[in-house]
Amino acid sequence: MPNTPSETVHTDAVAHDDAHQHSYIANNTKADYLKRLRRIEGQARGLQRMVEEEKYCIDILTQIAAMKKALGAVALGLLDEHMAHCVAGAVRAGGDEADLKLKEASDAIARLVRS
Amino acid sequence: MPNTPSETVHTDAVAHDDAHQHSYIANNTKADYLKRLRRIEGQARGLQRMVEEEKYCIDILTQIAAMKKALGAVALGLLDEHMAHCVAGAVRAGGDEADLKLKEASDAIARLVRS
Amino acid sequence: MPNTPSETVHTDAVAHDDAHQHSYIANNTKADYLKRLRRIEGQARGLQRMVEEEKYCIDILTQIAAMKKALGAVALGLLDEHMAHCVAGAVRAGGDEADLKLKEASDAIARLVRS
Amino acid sequence: MPNTPSETVHTDAVAHDDAHQHSYIANNTKADYLKRLRRIEGQARGLQRMVEEEKYCIDILTQIAAMKKALGAVALGLLDEHMAHCVAGAVRAGGDEADLKLKEASDAIARLVRS
């Protein structure tokens, strides 16, 4: 596969404060997420090869369903940690930040349910 | 990113007859699918960078939802072509093959709905 | 529970040719679908009672998830029969009707995946 | 439609402490939820009539997708209120109850994503 120089993903959502680092992901689970995402990247490459070689369509669909499930599982894991640390922290601190974090989390859940 | 030699995805479903080539994907749409899957691979790499740099969790979740939607759209496109060519062809030919193809397609749809 | 006279559901989709009867649903499966839908109606009533009595929110959510799954299973069953009879029949007859039925089915699948 | 005496839904989840009343649902939103659930019950009855009269399968599928969406929207609304009141309250109180509530909420989210 050739280099894909513009692999960066830009969305409005990513326009978040980049200087703001979040250490809510424990180091051991961080390594685990990276491993799972590398595997998902490999699945995306495997899918390209399957389409390139015109593999049987149903097999490609099975791979896509597996990949969506893997992504969904990563999302649920990240959401758990986010609620247990970031949201819970804001709730304990109280004030507008708590409401904002709760609203943000429920919007994220709604997006996941629809995706 | 270093080489990931074992990027191949092996599942039972892929144990399909590899010699059997399927030319149901028209060349112009094939290039389009490959482009979309390359973009999805880039999103998978972008996600790793976001986790590595501990970007804001909600932004990561937004990216995952976008990636799941992109995968779902690819799956629906492939399914359409599969039904219009492979399944319709088997139905016209008749016999057990038609029943098999219809069963296979509905199982694939069920997996997509749940993924 | 009081009478709910206007229980009829009106949507654009239902504005379909009402005179056109579809006997694709075999009588034995028709009774099965009706039984499952009556059960789903009972779940909808059970949900109202749970909200009325302010039952624990997580238990209500569990019921809603079960009800969505039951609806999804009914939809997949109906879709299978529709493809095996209506779509396959149109494909065998050929012409524009085949393309229309395939397009209709894939739009319905896309709606189910997103719902 | 005949009486359906056993419309009550029994699941393990409902085996929750029935004496424990939850007033987290504000009265105005409670009336709104009841209204939406009555509408969903009406949709379930409409579906039975459509199957009974053998209406066009695609129209039935459209109704089911609409009903699943309506149920999903009710679930997301209830989940929001649950997190803002019950979970946030437990987090402020601290201790094991907070962890339990967070775990319960994330399990409920996982069930919704899969349903």
Contact B38 A46 (CB under 8 A): no
Q: Tell me which chain B residues have a C-beta less than 8 angstroms from the C-beta of C94.
A: 92
Q: Looking at residue D27, what is its pLDDT?
A: 73
Answer yes or no: are the C-beta atoms of B65 and A111 closer than 8 Å: yes
Which of A76, A91, A92 is the closest to D106 by Cβ?
A76
What are the structural domains, with CATH classification, of chain B?
27-114 (1.20.58.1000)
> Which residues of D, range 11-40, sit inside 8 Å of C by Cβ?
11, 13-14, 16-18, 20-25, 30, 33-34, 37-38, 40
What's the gap in Å between the CA of B68 and the closest CA on chain C?
Answer: 11
Neighbours of chain A (3+ CB pairs under 8 A): B, D
Q: What are the tens digits of pLDDT across the range C12-31?
A: 444 444 444 455 567 788 99
Average pLDDT of chain D, as a whole number: 84
Q: What are the tens digits of pLDDT across the range B42-71?
A: 999 999 999 999 999 999 999 999 999 999
Residue D18 C-beta-side C-alpha neighbours within 13 Å: 7
* Positive or negative torsion for Cα D99, C58, C71, C106: negative
Q: Select from B9, B65, B3, B48 the least CA-distant residue to A7.
A: B48
Would you say residue A27 has pLDDT above 80?
no
What's the gap in Å between the CA of B60 and the closest CA on chain A?
Answer: 8
Answer yes or no: are the C-beta atoms of C41 and D52 closer than 8 Å: no
* Interface confidence (ipTM) of the complex: 0.80
Q: What are the tens digits of pLDDT across the range D79-88?
A: 999 999 999 9
> Which residues of C, range 77-106, sit inside 8 Å of D by Cβ?
78-79, 81-82, 86, 104-105
Would you say residue C46 has pLDDT above 60?
yes
State whether residue B56 sits within 8 Å of chain A by CB.
yes
Q: What are the tens digits of pLDDT across the range A28-58?
A: 889 999 999 999 999 999 999 999 999 999 9
Q: Looking at residue D23, what is its pLDDT?
A: 55
Q: Looking at residue C23, what is its pLDDT?
A: 55
What's the gap in Å between the CA of B84 and the closest CA on chain C?
Answer: 7
**Residue corresponding to tokens 């319905």:** C108
Q: Tell me which chain D residues have a C-beta less than 8 angstroms from the C-beta of A96.
A: none
> Best residue in D102, D113, D114 to probe A by mutation, most A CBs within 10 Å?
D113
Q: Looking at residue D32, what is its pLDDT?
A: 95
Size of interface A-D (CB pairs under 8 A): 49
Q: Is D16 left (phi over 0), alpha (psi -120 to 50) or beta?
A: beta
Two structure tokens written together for C56: 């624990």
**Residue corresponding to tokens 């139905």:** B91
Burial class (CB in 10 A: 0-12, 13-18, 19+), D60: buried
